[in-house]
Structure 1
Amino acid sequence: MSYDSVKWPARGLLGAVSPQARQELLALGVESRFEAGDVLLREGGADRHVLLLLSGFAKVTARVENGEESLLAVRVGGDTVGEMAALDGAPRSATVTACGLVIARIWKPAEVHSLLARRPDVHLTLTGIIAQRLRWANRRRLDFRGYPAKVRLARLLVELATSYGHPVEGGFVLGCRLTQPELAALTGAAETTIHKGLRELRQEGLLETGYGSTVIRDLPRLRKLADLAPEGPAGPEV
């Protein structure tokens, strides 16, 4: 499959590098296919390869102290997963699971190290993406303390729309599908609270949900509710 005409999200590696570097990244490693529920990377694993997602989306989860699974983030086409273990040699810090069909290129550790050595521009871009993810995680912790659940939900929806969504007539379609329990995990709220918040957003004409899709109908108003600036990105990628 040719990816020449794909518009990659700006916050993923493929969207952030130059066209020349992008072609090199798309030729690196081997392409692999993952079905829904397949584990791409497993928490605690000692493997060191990196995956470059080309299509579909995946969830990043980890076990908390009480043994329950917590959703940390989502990754979509254009993103990398597994780069931390490749860079520092530590065990995998999270599990990455395919949500629907995912196509990815698998980079061996030696390929990653060689790439970063000969392409300092890619190295710098990847380092910046990792820093963005860490800043986003820190902001999430502040959001949990500083905003009520409905505002946290609005902030997450704006971020998903501006990072991974695409415009349609009358709104923005989110670029990934998340269940109410998953939205609850990402916002640090109870599932019942998220259910109530989504219902209120629909009643207020800000959101429209259907089977497998979510459409933001009034992004400016949703930004205002989320206490975000009227324009510009909502924050680092999920």
Structure 2
Amino acid sequence: MVDLDAWPWPENTLLARLSPRSRRELLGLGHERYCKPGTLLMRQGDPGNTVYVLRSHDTSVSACVKITADAGTLFAIRVSGDVIGELGALTPNSVRSATATVCTATIAHCIPGNMFLSFLNEHPDGWQTLCRTLADRLAWSDQRRLDFGGWPVRRCLARLLVEFAESYGRPSESGVEITVRLSYEELGNLIGAGEDAVGLAMKRMQLKGLVCLRNRHVVVRDLEGLRNYAELE
């Protein structure tokens, strides 16, 4: 029996912010669906109002769902404790604004839109928590737009890796391992840079001892040093 009260929900996700009682009640709605890597949860342009609350299959590997535009361009990732598809519940008769593809073994709690809205209305921390989550996403998108405005690639990449290490990192012998596996192309999608430029910036950070690669995951070896590097002009 899985003890979801003791589950390690990443900080600042929807489930981490809900009270234990509200979290239990939300996870009790709808049904659970096991999703293997490659599972398509929703496709841009399709109708639908089901809300998906994510959790990892086990505590050793974080859940990861990539959010892409129709052309396949990555613009966000979601992990255990996150919610996706909530805009479909909030806007009747809408279509999906993005495609969501599962990257690691994930349990999706599938909640009909009307049940999700009822939950928000019946729990004082429901709407507040969802609004904080949406505000965080807007701030994140705004920061990425600023990154597109002319900052050096190495600075944009360093800032992104710091955010990922703080949000999705886990301690390892080498430092803080970013549990979400992303290619150089995908990292470039998130900061508005080409794959070659990202590769060059990553190589420079490796030479400085700030990061390394292990099993195709980025490991931040010196988090404070990477923060300082991200602020260099």
- TM over 0.5, yes or no? yes
Per-residue deviation, residues 9-47 of structure 1 (Å, max 9, x unmatched):
121111111112111122121100111111101101111
Does residue 188 (structure 1) correspond to residue 195 (structure 2)? The answer is no
In structure 2, the residue matched to 1:218 is 222
**How many angstroms does 1:169 deviate by?**
3.8
Pairs within 5 Å for 1:1-238? 1-55=2-56, 56-63=63-70, 68-89=71-92, 90-227=94-231
1:141 aligned counterpart, secondary structure: helix
Count how many residue pairs are aligned between Structure 1 and Structure 2. 224
Task: Please tell me the root mean square deviation across aligned C-alpha atoms, in Å.
Answer: 1.4
Per-residue deviation, residues 183-224 of structure 1 (Å, max 9, x unmatched):
111111000011111111111100010213221000001001
Normalising by structure 2, what TM-score? 0.92
1:189 aligned counterpart, secondary structure: coil
Conserved 8 A contact 2:88-2:113: no
Moved segments of 4+, more than 6 Å:
none
Letter of the aligned partner of 2:9 in structure 1? W
- C-alpha separation between the residues in 2 aligned to 1:74 and 1:188? 16
Normalising by structure 1, what TM-score? 0.90
Conserved 8 A contact 2:64-2:77: yes
Letter of the aligned partner of 1:49 in structure 2? T
Conserved 8 A contact 2:89-2:114: no
- C-alpha separation between the residues in 2 aligned to 1:135 and 1:6? 27
